[in-house]
Structure 1
Amino acid sequence: MTLTLAPDVVPTDTEHGTVLLDERRGRYFKLNATGTFLLRALLDGADHHQAAALLCRRYGIDPARAQADVSALVDALTAAKLARP
């Protein structure tokens, strides 16, 4: 399952990651470099398992931890209505 940003959400890269501005609600959500890496992978069409595998390769972390991190990011973004799976 890939991810799509909500229509009113504008991503802006910073030197530390990405800020997602929800123009409709006037709120923003800040992602660190790892969150930015995962968001890009998911927006580019990777499913959860593929994004977790990319995270393992890039940062050398345990596959179970990578999968949990992907799920946590997707859950947080969807709960905040910034994205939809």
Structure 2
Amino acid sequence: MALRFGTDVCTATTDYGTVLLDQRTGQYWELNPTATLVVSTLMAGGDEDDATNALVREFDVTPAQARDDVTALIGELRAGGLAA
């Protein structure tokens, strides 16, 4: 399932990953390169399997750990009200 940020969320890519700003609360979220890859994959229309596979290809991580990381990140973004 593709990831969509709320209309009040701005993103900026940095040398260290991605920064998200929730304009409603003024809260910043800093995503490391791993989370940035997950978010980029999902925003490009990929699903959780695509994001998991991207992590396995790019980083030294098992498929099970990659899947857990993808699921956790999506849950945190949704719980924080940043993504749908």
User: Would the TM-score normalized by the shorter structure come out above 0.5?
Assistant: yes
- Which amino acid in 1 is paired with 2:65? R
Identify unmatched segments of 5+ residues in structure 2: none
Unaligned ranges ≥5, structure 1: none
> What is the percentage of aligned positions where both structures have the same residue?
42
User: Is structure 2 residue 75 aligned with structure 1 residue 53?
Assistant: no
Aligned residues: 84
Cα displacement (A) at 1:60:
3.4
Structure 1 equivalent of residue 44 of structure 2: 44
Whether 1:23 and 2:38 are equivalent positions in the alignment is no
The amino acid across from 1:70 in the alignment is V
Aligned residues of 2:37 and 2:54 also touching (Cα < 8 A): no
Greater CA deviation, 53-62 or 33-42? Answer: 53-62
**Distance between the aligned counterparts of 1:58 and 1:15, measured in 2?**
17
Please report the RMSD computed on the Cα atoms of aligned residues, expressed in angstroms: 0.8
What amino acid is the match of 1:3? L
| TM-score (normalizing by structure 1) | 0.94
From the two aligned structures, give the one with the greater strand fraction: 1
- 4+ aligned runs moved over 3 Å, structure 1: none
Q: Deviations over 1:32-73 (max 9, x none)?
A: 111111110010011001110111111131110010010011
